Structure 1
Amino acid sequence: MPKLNCCANNCTHNSENYCCRNQIDVGGENATHSGGTCCESFQESDGSFTNSIQSPNTNLSIACNATNCIHNSNCQCDAESVSVSGVSACTSEQTECSSFYAR
């Protein structure tokens, strides 16, 4: 499973630049560059302590819909490490998979 570094600080699942989910979904079926992708699992934080009962995962499963990415293998990401950006994102569309690399 890929090591995920997440910079979407406004996401309710983010804790210390790691995701507290077991799996994330990356969208971008027609993407030709990283800006055409997004973390579909992004959920804007409402300020509550959602992650207080969850632990950050350093490695997690990434379901990937970005079929033009070299790391996409049967809709699963096979990259060693993945970075999701979107420091001030408020919606999933404002995030992106910075590790996208076109075939």
Structure 2
Amino acid sequence: MALVGCNVNNCAHNTDGTCYANKISVNGKKARTSNNTCCSSFVNESGYSDFSNSALDNTQCSSLSCNVKTCVNNAGIICALRDVSITSNADSANALSQTYCGSFRCK
């Protein structure tokens, strides 16, 4: 099970700096820097209703896929790292394109 740190404050899966999405996918096929990646599992908390918030699973990530072929940690679409950091330069991300994998390292 991967531990995914998250500083995207308005992501619905973020609880106290840890991502609790059960499946996370990082995209950015031809990325050369971390800013060229994104967390495709990002969900803006303002888009969640009370019903869907109560349906969130409170367990850590059980599947961390990496679709970034240029990352040294990509092991056949699975991230080889045990600890990963998802972050954003925006105070409040509005789209997954405003998130990125802070653990990305280019080959």
Tell me the TM-score normalised to structure 2 length: 0.83
Query: Are positions 1:73 and 2:78 aligned together?
Result: no
**Counterpart residue number, 2:3:** 3
After TM superposition, which residue ranges in structure 1, 4 or more long, deviate above 4 angstroms? 47-53
How many angstroms apart in 2 are the aligned matches of 1:81 and 1:27? 17
- RMSD over aligned Cα, in angstroms? 1.8
Tell me the TM-score normalised to structure 1 length: 0.86
How many angstroms apart in 1 are the aligned matches of 2:19 and 2:82? 16
Which structure 1 segments of 5+ residues have no match? none
- Cα displacement (A) at 1:61: 1.8
Aligned length: 103
Report 1:1-103 matches (<5 A). Answer: 1-46=1-46, 50-86=52-88, 87-103=91-107
Which structure 2 segments of 5+ residues have no match? none
- Cα displacement (A) at 1:23: 1.1
How many angstroms apart in 2 are the aligned matches of 1:61 and 1:80? 11
